[in-house]
A = this chain, B = another copy of it.
Amino acid sequence: LDQTILEFTVGNDHVLDERLAPYDVAASQAHVRMLAKCGHLSTSDAEATCQALEALGKSHDEGAWHVSLEEEDIHTALENRLGDLGKRIHLGRSRNDQVLAALRLYMKDAIARIGEQVESLAEALDILAADQGSLPIPGYTHMQRAMPSSVGLWAEGFAAELRSHTLWAAMDLADRNPLGSAAGYGTPGLELDRAQTTQELGFSETQEPVTAPQLSRGKAEAALAFALTLILQDIGRLATDLCLFASQEFAFVRLPDEMTTGSSIMPQKRNPDVFELVRGHSAQAPARLLAILAVTAKMPSGYHRDLQLIKAPLFDLIDTAEAVLEVMTHAIPGLTFDPAKTQAAMSPDLFAAQRAYELVQSQGIPFREAYQKVASELADRSAASHG
């Protein structure tokens, strides 16, 4: 292959593929055992191949080797390193189902891991609510003081929303075994036992018919990106609140100095950069979702090389989500709400709706009438204070 073409087509795929090594090892082992079970490979060859794969996975994990540009991807890198054994294991398997199997096993792990991180962040918010939750703060609508709220209601709203994630919808789409669909049209003339790899790899089902796996490319990926987008958007809104609360005008919350940065020319500054970057990352998440969806849009059925480009935005978004979740879980315990400043913000206006409810209940008047009365009282009071 022409060198310019090679470099362009591989891009940084060989680097991205590093994280798929353990999953391709596992999927290849399952495939090899299935081949042996079906009589397409001798038991001794299968055993030897599985052991060789195990060793390669281990040495890769220890950093002993990397995928080179010429190898193009982790799959070729492993196959080449298997030597003669490698020549037999591509029977009944195409790059198309192999790549997808490794990617789905990776996604399943990532989803489970991120699910735990989300729960950890929610727990950090629970603890904040338990510790400082009784402090009153205004509840805002339209960024205007509206109703009495509290640090607890504020933190627990976010905790509840974080826990309402849709990661499991992504899991559902990822949890289907593509192995045995080969290039996307099965293996005519070669009988395989797809249920065997499904079971061994812990997939919930075998994806049928054989044309479905390549049509489904990008869908579990997009569903995961979408779930992460919603999670990041919740966290981004939390960060926006914190940037606001950390301003001198609100001054509800303080961050420890070691969590803020200074300025290159204004020595007095303590900036909440961490929350700004969280906000920025959350805002970019939809762009990554879009980068995934754009690849498969309008694509004729069957495999196309464009699909390779799904990995970069997916991995970026997974890494970003993990970093954001980690740093927020780390930062939340550092927040200290200021009782004096929050109390000072509890202006009497915040209790206007409550006052109207009281009038309704004590005087039996309709709410709209009570609302008008309270509005008049407030107008009078305001006139008096400016009079």
Contacts and interface: CB of A to CB of B under 8 A. Distances in A.
Can you list the 8 inter-chain pairs with the closest CB atoms, starting with the nearest? A157-B211, A280-B306, A267-B375, A87-B366, A287-B291, A169-B169, A139-B185, A142-B271
Interface in A319-347: 323-324, 326-327, 330-331, 345, 347
A354 B187 CA distance: 7
A36 interface: no
Given A283-B297, A284-B295, A298-B298, A142 B237 contact: no
Interface stretch (A21-29, A116-124, A258-266): A258-266
21 contacts: A88-B367, A91-B367, A141-B214, A141-B271, A142-B305, A143-B244, A143-B246, A145-B248, A146-B183, A146-B185, A149-B185, A182-B353, A183-B266, A187-B357, A236-B298, A249-B250, A276-B304, A280-B295, A284-B313, A286-B290, A289-B289
B357 A190 contact: yes
Contacts of A349: 268
A146 B366 contact: no
B298 A240 contact: yes
A250 B281 CA distance: 27
Stoichiometry, copies per complex: 4
Nearest to A347: B248
The dominant DSSP class at the A interface is helix
Nearest to A294: B283
A303 interface: yes
A98 to B, nearest CB: 8
Contact of A160 (B164, B209, B300): B209
A272 B1 CA distance: 12
A144 B269 contact: yes
Given A215-B158, A237-B215, A309-B280, A142 B273 contact: yes
A352 interface: yes
A361 interface: yes
A20 interface: no
Residue of A158, A279, A330 most packed against chain B (CB within 10 A): A279
Given A209-B156, A248-B145, A306 B294 contact: no
Given A94-B265, A273-B305, A277-B305, 19 more contacts: A1-B259, A4-B326, A9-B261, A40-B361, A87-B366, A90-B264, A143-B244, A144-B270, A146-B263, A146-B266, A146-B302, A147-B183, A147-B186, A161-B212, A166-B169, A233-B293, A237-B298, A277-B308, A290-B290
